Amino acid sequence: MKSTFQRFHSSLFRLLWTYPLALSSLVFLLLSSIFSLYFWSVYKREVDSDLENTTKELRHIWTAISKAHEDMVLHYYRTFTEDEKTLSYLRMALSKDERSLALARAGLYRHLWKSYEEMSDRFYIKHLTFVLPDNLVFLRFHAPELYGDDVALLRPDIALVNEKKEPTSSFLVGDVTSGYCYVFPIFDGERHHLGTVSFCKSTESIKGVLMELFPDKDFYLLVMEEVVRKRVLEEYRWLYRPIKGLKGWLIEKPEGELYSLLEHEGVLKELIKKRLPSLMESKKDFTHQLILNKKYYRLTFLRPSEKYGQSHAVTLLILSPAPELALAYSRFLNSLFTSLSFNFVISGILYLYFKKVHTIREQQEKLETITSVMGGGLFVLDRHGVAVYVNQTACHMLGYSSEELLGKVVHDIIHVHRGDIHECPIFKATAEGRGLDYDDSFIRKDGSLLDVHIRVRPIFVNHKFSGSVVLFYDISERKKKEEELYKLAITDPLTGLYNRRFMLDQLMRVKLMAERYSIPFSVLFIDLDNFKKINDIYGHEMGDRVLKATANVIKSCLRRTDIPSRWGGEEFLVLLENTGLQEAVDVAERIRKEIETEPVEGFLKITISIGVAQYSKGEDVDSLIDRADKALYRAKATGKNRVST
């Protein structure tokens, strides 16, 4: 048996040697299959990574914007609950006397109507509802004629807040439109529970912010038809339209490219019908690649995340053009064509020089090593770090010609780690004959920095180390996007100052430093005097300009190490590191005088009051802020436009 196999094996190789064209053709097919699978897997990974990153990015942005809106709603809630007139109407409503209820309802409606109009017009808060402790509706501002109904079944979130007396938020399809509902308990000064207040902010407002950030994307909300019939008032159902071929679902405020495609593209409707059930079950966001009319798109499915709501009945669809995916597919085809051409050449060499197998094998090993990492800027180094090959992409990215790089130690020219070459990560990997993957920066010819992801792979010839291949990708856009998202998360969108959350983090950080090293620090609590009159006389647009101008003056009076923030409304909080009380008072006086002497837009004079407090060892952050707030109150009480400690 063994001898028969050996004779067959020997006969096969003699046949191949006799017909080198057959052998070269076999090698061509084998290599083509390998390279095709490889480039396809690279393409799939690139597409999957792009879709996954798109999903994460949109989810993070949606969450950040929702949180910012929640903070805005919290501001209105605090304004209402600190208003004694509002509380008096709610106390009157607890009497259950029909006449008292009617008077209280009418009084509260008149008292808060302007605030509701402002919330509705500026922030898309379409629902403002007050509910008594027994879950009976006291007043709907969007439908004041509807009251007295029990909302425990339709709005379990309100019932929960009345029971637990703790705030909650949820995503709901309301009787007018869909959106996030924020429910808060209401207490008077003696902590008597007076009921709840519900703010419902439309999805449209969040979509508006998203469309400003991403004007090339379309945002839509799909809602189950059954939920719309049960929840939405009949006069507002025109906002939801059916989609041909997509039974049971309606689209809210249909317009734009996605709605047009839904009307005419069966492939898109089939995809949505197929993926919606799995989305409802998995509760996971995802993004699909679509090719419609020879155009590439990303279609992202997002589910609002909440505790008590109807996220099972709604889906946010985001359609965006995806030229990057088209380019990825083009690169795949180009790589495939290049590999086929390369394979053809290799097969020809095998056909013509079959007897020189050993030489061809060495060349093939080196070529396969290089081609396995192609895709960005690439250069090949010898064992001493000298460039022996540089591709045109690398030259273009760095601004050098190949002649300026070849034959030179690349570390000395482009690497940000200038100095001892033996400390260079790339040179160390090259010298040790090992691979390396990490993020770093290169220096372009014009002196600018290029953020890159670097991959270093060793080259072995006949099992001996002979150099390294270095491949790098431009990650500047990724870095920029990360910085933009971080800035969005820590700054106030109106004034450009840091927001309240960031300031609290910095106060905790500085407090720990002060405790450990006995370094003093102080805070300034700043409030605009008579700001409500400015809004009433000149309008909220001028009020916004006043806030911006105030923020600019505050920044101009501070050191680079000082941290200014918008604390809320017309209040600002400034953190002065390594600053005692008297020095902080001097800074506060400088700010106050600058504000007083610089009219907004040349005609509107404004003043501020400032409370100053220095941190005392062992004190918590809340206590420090409270002392500064009390100092501010004294400044207000003693005539305003002054600094108090």
Residue of 27, 36, 625 whose CA lies nearest to 337: 36
**Encoding tokens for residue 81?**
């609950």
pLDDT, residue 280, reads: 56
Mapping DSSP to helix (H, G, I), strand (E, B) and coil, where does residue 618 land?
Answer: coil
pLDDT, residue 575, reads: 96
The region of weakest confidence among 384-388, 518-522, 553-557, 576-580 is 384-388
Residue 597 pLDDT > 70? yes
Residue of 425, 437, 435, 442 whose CA lies nearest to 369: 435
pLDDT band at 2 (very low <50, low <70, confident <90, very high): very low
Map out the domains of the chain as residue ranges: 83-166, 214-321, 373-476, 491-644
- Choose which CATH entry (3.40.50, 1.20.1050, 3.30.230, 3.30.450) describes domain 214-321: 3.30.450
Contact assessment for residue 301 and residue 286, using Cβ atoms and an 8 Å cutoff: yes
Please give the C-alpha separations between residue 230 and each of 166, 173, 244, 347, 359, in angstroms, as whole numbers: 27, 10, 22, 70, 78
Average pLDDT over residues 504-511: 94
CATH 3.40.50.980: does it fit domain 373-476?
Answer: no
> Quick one: what percent of the chain has pLDDT higher than 70?
83
What string of DSSP letters covers 173-189?
Answer: E-SS-EEEEEEEEEE-T
As to burial, measured by CB atoms within 10 angstroms (0-12 exposed, 13-18 middle, 19+ buried), residue 636 is: middle
What string of DSSP letters covers 431-500?
Answer: HHT--EEEEEEEE-TTS-EEEEEEEEEEEEETTEEEEEEEEEEE-HHHHHHHHHHHHHHHB-TTT-SB-H
pLDDT tens digits along 519-539: 999 999 999 999 999 998 999
Averaged pLDDT of the chain: 81
pLDDT, residue 370, reads: 53
Average pLDDT over residues 498-508: 94
Is the model more confident about 226 or about 507?
507
Numbers of helices and strands, H then E, in the chain: 21, 21
Asked if 214-321 and 373-476 have one fold, the answer is yes
**Is 570 in the active site?**
yes
pLDDT, residue 360, reads: 46
Decide: pTM greater than 0.85: no
Pairing of strands 377-382, 464-474: antiparallel
For tokens 């070269």, name the residue: 24
Please give the C-alpha separations between residue 401 and each of 386, 392, 395, 641, in angstroms, as whole numbers: 16, 8, 6, 64
For tokens 């509760």, name the residue: 283
pLDDT tens digits along 20-66: 676 667 777 888 888 888 888 888 898 889 888 988 888 888 788 77
Q: Within 10 A of 600 (CB to CB), how many other CB atoms are there?
A: 19
Can you tell me the distance from the alpha carbon of 402 to that of 382, in angstroms, rounded to the nearest whole number? 16
Residue 361 pLDDT > 60? no
Can you tell me the distance from the alpha carbon of 2 to that of 402, in angstroms, rounded to the nearest whole number? 58
Can you tell me the distance from the alpha carbon of 18 to that of 346, in angstroms, rounded to the nearest whole number? 19
Q: Within 10 A of 637 (CB to CB), how many other CB atoms are there?
A: 10
Residue of 212, 216, 276 whose CA lies nearest to 61: 212
pLDDT, residue 497, reads: 94
pLDDT band at 235 (very low <50, low <70, confident <90, very high): confident
> Helix, strand, coil proportions of the chain in percent (round to 5)?
55, 25, 25
Is the model more confident about 543 or about 255?
543
pLDDT band at 368 (very low <50, low <70, confident <90, very high): very low
Q: Of residues 281, 368, 570, 596, which has the active-site annotation?
A: 570
Is the model more confident about 532 or about 70?
532
Domain at 491-644, CATH class:
alpha beta
Can you tell me the distance from the alpha carbon of 407 to that of 425, in angstroms, rounded to the nearest whole number? 20
